[in-house]
Amino acid sequence: MRTKAREVAFQIVFASRFGEVDKGLKSALYKKENLTKDDIAYCDGVLSLVAEHEEEFAKIIDNRSLAFPESRLFPADKSILYVALAEILHISDIPHAVSINEAANIASKYSSEKSASFISGILSEVQKG
């Protein structure tokens, strides 16, 4: 199960909203959460996808969220959406429903219940195409 790895990926994306994230921070988080080699590979892959497709993800969010453009989202919510969008759009072995559910769970833990619903709604729309 990738729940821990997904949460670590979120934490790193979130930290990157405030400055450059170095390898030391990543390594510390990986070690703290006792991530396996597969988990680390997953995290590194998601982080690469987020970096590569950040502009695309911002446009997708803007197109699906008329009330709250991507630029006005809480950094935690934006980070959660970016991780989930990387999974939904670019990682074929993760069911979309899992990505949406995990994103909502992370939002409930790190943001708010309203954010969890908002994020689920955006991702459900993306899933539909």
Rounded Cα–Cα distance for residues 101 and 106 (Å): 9
Q: What is the residue-averaged pLDDT of the chain?
A: 93
CA distance 48 to 126: 20
pLDDT digits (tens, 9 = 90+) for 95-112: 999 999 999 999 999 998
Domain-wise residue ranges, the chain:
3-128
Q: What is the pLDDT of residue 69?
A: 77
The per-residue pLDDT for 116 is 95
Query: How far apart (Å, rounded) are the C-alpha atoms in residues 10 and 90?
Result: 16
Q: Which residue positions in the chain have pLDDT lower than 50?
A: none
In words, the CATH class of domain 3-128 is: mainly alpha
Residue found by looking up tokens 């990682």 in the block: 91
